[in-house]
Amino acid sequence: MSNITLNYYVVDVFTDKVFGGNPAGVCLLDDWLPDETLQNIAMENNLSETAYLVKKDGSGSQVACYDLRWFTPTIEIDLCGHATMGSAYVLFTFIEKEAHRIEFHTLSGMLAVEKDSDMLWMDLPSRPADPVQKYDSINKSLGLEDYEVYKSADILIIVDNEEIVKSLRPDFHILKELKDEADMPGDNFVIIVSAQGSDCDFVSRVFAPNCGVDEDPVTGRAHCVLTPYWSKILARTSLTAQQLSTRGGQLWCEDAGSRVKIGGTAVLYLQGQINV
């Protein structure tokens, strides 16, 4: 393959200032490159996710349509919220300036992002979780005793208060064992720890060591699980959320039945080119 130059952006998502939220790599392609190349770029970037976009035929000026894929430094995943919002930010800002809606065709079906002033609103699939047994690897890796566990495509752990979430110091080597104990079909899952919040409706932290991401700074896909859970517990469909990573981030969530609406802001950190 001859040398190719790709337009590349890094967008900090779920924040209104650089160095906050979750940085997403966004790479615009004319056509799909080999999967090995996509994975190598993501590994070189070493961000939680790098998103790749190819424009689809039939896009209009008001609604633009793209194929979208996401890669962590080690694997391709089936759903990523922050890199979807980061991709939409790049398109609205630089490519699709007349559009009010971006539709993405992904491994999780059609996802959409709409712009409302500085806010971006994603439409993602709801992933409600069912209660399951406690797992030894949670006790050993997170030092938890009093908690509840729920499972969907991801693992949700509910603890008593926000301070427990803040104080977690996981043993990621042991936490990776949860994959086999919980009978997860592959490495494509995250582990969410959540509690009711003091300055918002709920807080969380998210770990994905099986995906090559020990702690994800702010995780849109996790809120596809968190939103239906806390909507039921708090008896409200509109919720505010914070992710308590070092970088931190804020999200607005709406339970819409089979879908979850997630809102946030984003800022550009980097614009450049990749040579492969």
Q: Active-site residue numbers?
A: 49
Nearest to 233 by CA among 162, 158, 172, 179: 158
Helix, strand, or coil here: 219?
coil
Q: Do 273 and 23 contact (CB within 8 A), yes or no?
A: no
Distance, CA of 165 to CA of 159 (rounded, Å): 7
Q: And the tokens for 252?
A: 């607005």
Helix (H/G/I), strand (E/B), else coil: 246: coil
Q: Which residues pair with 270 in a beta bridge?
A: 10
CB 229 within 8 A of CB 89: no
Q: 189 and 178 in contact (C-beta within 8 Å)?
A: no
Distance (Å) of CA 215 to CA 6, 79, 99, 212: 28, 16, 34, 9
